[in-house]
A and B are shown apart, each in its own frame.
Chain A
Amino acid sequence: MQPSADGVHDPYLGTTAAERAAMLARIGVASAEALFAPIPPAFRNPPLRLPPPLSEQELLRELSAIAGQNRHTGELISFLGGGAYRHYVPSVVGHIVGRSEFYTAYTPYQPEISQGTLQGAFEFQSLVCELTGMDVANAGMYDGASAFAEACLMAVAVTGRRRIAVLDSVNPAYIDTVRTYASGHGLPVELVSPEQPRLGAEHACLAVQQPNGLGFLEDVQRLSEAAHISGALFIADVDPISLGLLREPGAYGADIVTGSGQALGGGLNYGGPHVGLFACRERFVRQLPGRIVGQTKDLDGRTGYVLTLQTREQHIRRERATSNICTSQQLLALATAVYLTLLGPAGLRQIASLCYHKAHYAAGRIRELPGFRLASDAPFFKEFAMQCPCSPGELLPALLERGILGGIDVSGRVRNGLLIAVTEMNTRGEIDALVAALAEAVRP
C-alpha cells in the first residue's frame, strides 16, 4: 500500500496532519505524545508485529484468495444440519439489512431517532410470539445454544431450585453450552432420558429439543406434563421452520421457548452471527434476559417504541441483573422479521412441507439401500439420524469426492450414525445423487 498524500496508513482517518497540529495547539500540548503521558514510558510504543497494511484493491485480492481456499455450500451439495441449516434467503432480506440506516446504527438508546430499529424489534418479538404460541419474547439472543442455556438459568431464578435437567437427546453442543453457563454458580446439570425423565422437587427445569439432536420428534406433551408435575419449568428449543407444520410449544405447555433464528433468513456464515429466539409466559417477563422493546406514546400521542423493562438489565441492575447481555444480534433479528413477513403463514407452511417431504423422500430412498436404517422409529421433520452399515468416517470422504457434504458423523451417539438434513434447497436430483453415492461408497 502507498500511504496517502498526507502520509497516513489508516484510510479511514478524518483529519489531516495539519488539522491535527492545529487541534493540538488548541488543546495546548506540543504533540500527541503528551496526551499519552499517563502510560508508563517504558511500555509506550511497543513493537507491533502485524502484517503490512493493504490497499482496498490488495485486500480484496488477498481475501478473495483466502475465501477461495474454502469450498462453500453453493458449490457443493449439502446435507449438513446439526443446528445450522441451508435455507433460501430471499433477496429482499439482504437488501433490507444491508441498508446502512439499519446496520450502522447503535443500540437504540435515543428512541426519537431510532424508531426503525425499535419498531423492527417489536415486529420480531411479535412474530416470535405468533410462531411459538407464547405470550412474550425478547429482542433476541446471541444464538440458539446460548439462548437455551440462559433459559435454564432463568428457570433457576424463577423456581429458586438449583438442578437443571436436560434431555439426553439434545444436541451435545447445546448441552455443553448449558454446562458452561451453569458452571458459574456450580449448578448441577443432569442428563435425563426421554422415556423416564425422573424429576424431583429440586429440579428447576426440564429442557428439551423438538426435534431433538438426532432430528426425531419427542413426546413433548408427556414431557411437559412430567416437568410440571414436579413443579419444574418446561423449556423447549425448537426449529422455527418446523412450526409451519408442527405443533407450537405454547400448545404443549412450554414455559420458555428458545430456538435458532438462523434458518429464518439468517444464512450460514460459518456458524455465526445467528440470532437466538427467546419467548416465555407472561408471568416470567420480569425475569427475561436481554433487550425488550415496548410500545408507548410520544408527547403528541403518536405511537412509538422504546427499550423497556430495563430494570432487569446490567446497566441499571448491575450485579443483580437477570443476565449480563448487552450487545446481542439485533440486525439478525431484523432479518428474521423481514423473512417471516415475506413468507406469511402460507409461505411458512410451504417451506415446512418442502423440507418435510424431501427429507422423507431421502430417508425412504436411503433405507432401501442394504444395511441402512433409521436410528429411531419416531417421526422426524427435516433431519434424521441414519445407521449405516459402516462408519460414516469411511463414507463421508467418498461422498465429498463427488462434491457431496453427506451429513454429520454422529457415531458417538448412534452406532455408525450419520445425521442428514434436507431442506427446500435440496432438489430431488441432489437427493438421488446422495443415494447413489452412498450406494457406491458402501459397495465392497
Chain B
Amino acid sequence: MTADTSDTKVKAIAVTRDSEKLAAPPNLARDELGSALSFDRSMPGKQGILFPAMDVPESDLPPRAFLREAAPSLPELSQLDVVRYYTALSRLNYSIDSGFYPLGSCTMKYNPKIDEDIARLPGFAGLHPLQPEDTVQGVLRLFFELQDLFAEITGLHTASLAPMAGAQGELAGILTIKAWLEANGRAGRTRVLVPDAAHGTNPATAAMCGFDVVSIPTAADGDMDLAALEAALDDRAAALMLTIPNTLGLFDPNILRIVELVHGAGALMYGDGANLNAIAGQVKPGELGFDVMHINVHKTLSTPHGGGGPGAGPIAVTAALAPFLPEPYVIVDEEANSFRLVRPERSIGRLGAFHGNSGVLVRAYTYLRTLGAAGLREMSEAAVVNANYVQARLKETYTLPYDRSCMHETVFSGSRQRARGVRTLDIAKRLIDYGFHPPTVYFPLIVDEALMIEPTEAESKAALDAFCEAMLAIAREAEQQPELLRDAPHQAPLRRLDEATAARKPVLRWRPSAGAAQP
C-alpha cells in the first residue's frame, strides 16, 4: 500500500458516514437483531430445548419452605431465536480469525483448529474429575508429561497444572514462596518487590498473599534500577516478581546480577511468564536463577482466549519449592505402572474444586507436541523478528522511549501526536477504521501515552506491512485532520461509548420493570 492509496482510503472512510446516512434505508433486520436483549425478545410459551419424559414415579417435594415461590424471569425464546441472536452478537466481535490483533502483552496468536478438535474428543471432554484413576490413565499421563514439558521449557524442576489463569498462577507461586519462607525460618519477610512497569496482577497478587508491595523503578534505559533494587533488598524482602522479558519488551541484560542480588539477600525470584513467547526455547529462566515461574498457556501456548478466558496458568518451581505446590499433582507409580493424583507433602492447598483447566491444558499439550523443540525456537525467534520489524518501520514516526531492539513486543509513546492534541486513545480508535484491533494502550504505566504492540510469529509480513501503513497514515492524519481521530472509530458497530456514565450510574443487569433501555 502506498501513501497515496492510503490517503484515498482515508478520504473514503471520512465521507462514507454521511453518504450512508443519506442513502441507506433503515436496516430493520439488523436493528431487530442487534440491540434488544434476550429478555426483551421473550415470548411466553417459547422454549428452545425439550427434555425427555419423566420415566420414574414422582416423589413428594420437600417442605414448602425449601421451594421457590415464583419461577425466575428467564427469557423464553425458540431455538432459532437463540441462534440468530447469539450469531448476531458474534458478528459484533473482532477476533483473531478475522484480523490482526496486536495487543501487547496478550500474545494474540493463531489458535490452531486441530487443538480444538482434540480437546473435544469424548475421551477428554467427557471425563468426570472424580473418576477412579484407573479409568483416566490417558489424561493423567498427558498431565504428567505436560508437567515435565513445562519444567523443561522453564528450566525448573517440576510444574503444577492446577492454576486456572495467569493471575491464579501468581497467587499459587507467591503462596508457595511464602510457605517455603515460613518453613525455612524466614517468616519475617513481609515485602514483595515489584517493578513499576509490572502488570497490575503482580502487586495485586502480592497484596492478596499478605505482603507489602515495594515498587522498584525502571532506569532511563528501560532496565531495572539496580541501585533501587539493592536498597530495597533487606531482610524484609521475600521475593522479586519480575516479568521476563519485561513489559517494555526488553530483556534486562543485568538479569544475572539481579538474581545474584535477590538471592544474596535471602529472597526468591518469581518470574511472570506473560512474555514467554519471546524466549521459549531460547533461554531457560530456571537456569538464570528464577525459583518460580508461571506460564500463560492462553498466550504463549496458543490456547484461545475466549473473550476473557478460559486460560490456564501452570507454575514451574525449583526442587526446593516442589513440596509446597498446590494440590493436585500427578506422579507416576513405577511399581503399579500407573499415574496418580497426589497432594504434595507440604502443599499450600487447593486452588479450586478439581484439577485445573484440563480442557485448556490438553490444547497446550497438543500445541507443544506439534512444535517440538525446533518449532518452539522458530516460534519465539519469528515473534521477535516480527516485533522488531514493526519497531523499525514505525520508530521514525512514533516516539520510541527506549530506543533499542526489542523482544516480542515494542512499546511506543504517542507523545509526539499528543503534542498536537491527539491522544493514544484516538490513535487506537482510528486503527479500528483501518480494520485492525488496536494495540494495548496506556500500559506500561511508566510510558506516557503508551502503545504496546505485539504482532506474534503467526502474522505474515503483508499483515505487518498493512498495519504499519495504517499507523503511518494515522500519524499523518493526526497532523492534518486530527478531528478524524478524535471521533474515531467511524466504521465500527458502535461509536465511542460513554464509560464515565457507565461507572458513575452502573446498569449491570436487565430489570424486569424498567427494561434494559432505561439506564
Contacts and interface: CB of A to CB of B under 8 A. Distances in A.
Contact of B302 (A12, A92, A318): A12
A65 B126 CA distance: 15
Contacts of B507: 294-296
Contacts of A26: 389, 392-393
7 contacts: A9-B375, A12-B302, A27-B389, A83-B354, A96-B83, A179-B349, A304-B494
Contacts of A80: 128, 130-131
Given A270-B359, A316-B200, A324-B171, A360 B352 contact: no
Contact of B510 (A59, A126, A245): A126
Given A9-B374, A105-B307, A113-B94, A324 B494 contact: no
Given A102-B306, A271-B355, A272-B164, A32 B385 contact: yes
Given A104-B111, A315-B199, A72 B122 contact: yes
Interface string A399-421: 01000010010000000000000
Given A26-B389, A379-B66, A323 B132 contact: no
Contact of A123 (B38, B56, B501): B38
Interface string B317-339: 00000000011000000000000
Which 3 A-B residue pairings sit nearest by Cβ, starting from the closest?
A: A67-B123, A271-B354, A271-B129
A71 B378 CA distance: 37
B252 interface: yes
Contacts, number: 717
Given A106-B103, A116-B307, A296-B499, 14 more contacts: A10-B375, A13-B378, A15-B386, A35-B406, A37-B405, A72-B126, A131-B72, A139-B308, A173-B354, A251-B68, A268-B126, A318-B200, A344-B76, A361-B57
B201 interface: yes
Chief secondary structure at chain B's binding surface: loop
Interface string A303-325: 11110111101111111110111
A53 B374 contact: yes
A69 B386 CA distance: 41
B219 interface: no
A14 B308 contact: no
Contacts of B128: 73, 78, 80, 84, 86, 268, 270, 405
Interface in A148-174: 153, 171, 173-174
Nearest to A54: B369
A327 B493 CA distance: 25
Contacts of B494: 111-112, 115, 298, 300, 302, 304
A293 B508 contact: yes
Contacts of A316: 200
A405 B350 contact: no
Nearest to B326: A180
B137 interface: yes
A324 to B, nearest CB: 4
Interface stretch (A39-47, A198-206, A228-236, A367-375): A39-47
Interface in A379-414: 379, 396-397, 400, 405, 408
A336 B233 CA distance: 47
B47 interface: yes
B284 interface: yes
Contacts of B208: 153, 181, 184-185, 323-324
A331 interface: yes
A179 B343 CA distance: 15
Interface string B131-159: 11001111101100000010011010000
Contacts of A111: 494, 497, 499
B429 A184 contact: no
Contact of B356 (A46, A75, A184, A271): A271
Contacts of B393: 26
Contacts of B167: 314, 324-327
Interface residues of A, number: 210
A436 interface: no
Interface in B105-132: 106, 108-112, 114, 116-118, 121-132
A339 to B, nearest CB: 9
Contacts of B112: 11-12
B93 to A, nearest CB: 4
A396 B149 CA distance: 34
Interface stretch (B2-10, B261-269, B454-462): B454-462
Interface in B350-396: 350-360, 362, 366, 368-379, 381-382, 384-386, 388-389, 391-393
B307 A45 contact: no
Given A50-B149, A53-B371, A320 B461 contact: no
A269 B308 contact: no
Interface residues of B, number: 206
B175 interface: yes
B51 A347 contact: yes
A100 B138 contact: no
A431 B56 contact: yes
B375 to A, nearest CB: 4
Contacts of A311: 503
A150 B425 CA distance: 33
Interface in A238-283: 243-248, 251, 260, 267-274
Interface stretch (B224-232, B275-283, B415-423, B470-478): B275-283
Contact of B283 (A13, A39, A59): A39
B492 interface: yes
Contacts of B49: 90, 92, 342-343, 347
B79 A342 contact: yes
B203 interface: yes
Contacts of B139: 66-67, 70, 270
A193 interface: no
Contact of B132 (A267, A302, A342, A396): A396
B258 to A, nearest CB: 11
Contact of A56 (B54, B114, B141): B114
B271 to A, nearest CB: 14
B164 A143 contact: yes
Contact of B138 (A66, A86, A110, A294): A66
Contact of B114 (A59, A86, A351): A59
Contacts of A59: 114, 118, 366, 369-370
B282 A44 contact: yes
B242 interface: no
B82 interface: yes
Given A11-B370, A137-B509, A332-B310, A326 B166 contact: yes
A356 B62 CA distance: 10
B375 A246 contact: no
B373 to A, nearest CB: 4
Nearest to A39: B283
B288 A43 contact: yes
Contacts of A129: 509
A273 B152 CA distance: 25
A101 interface: yes
A357 B353 contact: no
A117 B519 contact: no
A172 to B, nearest CB: 9
A310 B210 contact: no
B207 A345 contact: no
A344 B123 contact: no
Nearest to A221: B65
B370 A330 contact: no
Contacts of B487: 299
